[in-house]
Each structure stands twice: as structure tokens, then as C-alpha cells.
Structure 1
Amino acid sequence: MGKISYYTEEGLNRLKAELNDLKTKGRADIARQIAEARDKGDLSENAEYDAAKDAQGLLELKISKLEDIVANARLLDESTIDTSQVSVLSKVRIKNKKTGAEMTYTLVSEEEADLKQGKISVGSPIGKGLLGKKVGDSAEITVPAGKLEFEVIEIDR
């Protein structure tokens, strides 16, 4: 059994769509490539055939991993999120105590993380450091660049 992960409805739907796409279009493309390579003759010295079979193996591995993720996915109800402390799907505004810079992040699962959209993983150093904190709490977080100290300014959903 895989690791249980929590997703927003949007994130889970995106995973299911990707899985469906790989199972339909992805498998059809690979089957076509294998058929074309097979038509070119001797399979013992056919690099195209070998490459297509390797691609098929990688595709099936990716499909298997996605099926496991989807099977162990749990949908989070955003309306039940406790905003008194930082948790999954919390939108948290933090202030770097050293520089005074403010940032707003939404804590999401690993697969939904996208820094450009302000979504960080609960498994990241900052995500782990913020979990369970309340407004006004300080969090000293060790990141690759060293130690950073943040103050939680606001928690929302």
C-alpha cells in the first residue's frame, strides 16, 4: 500500500486526467511506434523496436505509479480546515524576521506543489516548519541556504 496523500479537488482531477491520457493516448502512441518498428523487418537488430519497447516499459511504470497515487489519494474538504493553526491547504502569510520580506504560501501535497503559484509542499523544509504554528508564532527553519526565522502573520484557507 502506498502513502496516503491529501489533495484539493482540482489537484486530484488533474492527476486522474493525466492517468486517463496516459492509458489512452499514451498506450496508443506506443503501440503505433512498436507496430511501425516491427514492419521494418528483423527485430534482432532493430534499434527503433528496442527504443519503442523501452518507452512502453517506462510508460507502464508511470501509469502504475499514478494509479497507486490516485488509489491512495484523499480529497480534502476546504471548508473543514482549522484556520487557528497551519495545516494542509492553509494559506499562510509569513514574514522573514531578518529581511522583513513577507510571503504568502498555500501548503499542498507533493504532487500539487508549484512555487510559481505560491503552493509549497507540506514535505518541504518550510512546509514542515510551518505545520502546527499559530498566528504570532515564530518558526526557525533550516533550508539549504542556512537557517531562516519566520513569523506567522496570517492563516487563511
Structure 2
Amino acid sequence: MSRAPITKKGSERLKAELERLKSVDRPRIIAAIAEARAHGDLKENAEYHAAREQQSFTEGRIAELEGALSTAEVIDVARLAAGTRVVFGATVDLEDEDSGEAVTYQIVGDLEADIKQRLIAVSSPIARALIGKSAGDSFEFKAPNGVKRYEITGVNYDA
């Protein structure tokens, strides 16, 4: 089984989520199920069914996080010395060659990717196009809405 890369920061975030699920959410859900059971007939007890459904989602997420963290290879981005070359963990400043819009992304593991936080998965098309390039290089990749062209204006590893 291959080990999935994850940044140190991403690993810490996922471990914190796992700890919260186990120590806060799980006990709260168990208490909600017990309270709903006390109301009597379980067949028509909406609170009971909602709490059981929430328990199922929470236990699934706990299992997903435990599995992912057990096979993850944590990479400390601050210790990488790739210079201006783009590798896993790099924070890359880009400029859209068509619109001139500037954007910054960090290339992270699949499990920790979150486009809202500008964290892109190493397996994404843009990350695959970036890997191996250097500051000053231009590149293009096929996005869902057509071919995009960017210039790399900066690369850093300040996690």
C-alpha cells in the first residue's frame, strides 16, 4: 500500500478534528441517543433517528481519519530545500496570463485539500502541471472551463 503524502500542518489539523470527534462529538451524540430513548417508542421517535444518523456519520468520519492518518506520510514543508522549483508542499504565486489575476495555492495531500483555503491536491490537474516547474516559468493546463495559462511568480516553503 502506498503512503499518501500530507503536510505536517494538515496532519495536525486532521488529528485535532479526530480528537474533537472522539472526545466532544461522540459523547454528545451518545447522550442525545440516551435522552431520545427515554422518550419511549423508538419507531416514531424523530430525535432518536436523527441522533443515530449523526452517530453513523461521525463514526464514518472517525474511521476515515484514522485510516488516512495511519497510512499518511507526513512531510515537513519547512524542511524542504527545493529552492524555486515546485514540489509537494510548495506555496506557489501565480498570475493568470489572460486576465492578469494573481492567485496563491499550496500543493497538499488529497485528504487535506480545500480550495476555499487555497489548498490544492497534489493529484489535481493544476498541481500536476506545476510540479517540477520553477519561478518565472509559464505553463498551461486543462481546466473544466477550458485551457488556462499561468506564470509562476513565486515559490516558497514557509509552511
TM tier, smaller: 0.7 to 0.9
Q: Per-residue displacement from partner, 1:31-87 (whole Å, max 9, x unpaired)?
A: 111111111112233332222222212211111001111112222122124134211
Aligned to 2:15: 16
User: Counterparts in 2 of 1:25-104, with a 5 A limit?
Assistant: 25-78=24-77, 79-104=79-104
Return the letter of the residue paired with 1:12: S
Contact 1:81 1:90 in 2 (8 A): no
User: Structure 1 residues 156 and 22 mapped into 2: Cα distance closer, same or farther (>3 Å)?
Assistant: same
Distance in structure 1 (CA, Å) of the matches to 2:76 and 2:68:
19
SS state of the match for residue 43, structure 1?
coil
Provide structure 1 residue ranges, at least 5 long, that are not aligned to the other structure.
none
User: Scaled by the length of structure 1, what TM-score is found?
Assistant: 0.84
Which has the higher mean CA deviation after the structures are superposed, 139-148 or 43-52?
Answer: 43-52
User: Scaled by the length of structure 2, what TM-score is found?
Assistant: 0.83
Aligned to 1:120: 120
Provide structure 2 residue ranges, at least 5 long, that are not aligned to the other structure.
none
Distance in structure 2 (CA, Å) of the matches to 1:33 and 1:116:
32
Identity, in percent, stands at 39
Distance in structure 2 (CA, Å) of the matches to 1:145 and 1:114:
19
Contact 2:140 2:147 in 1 (8 A): yes
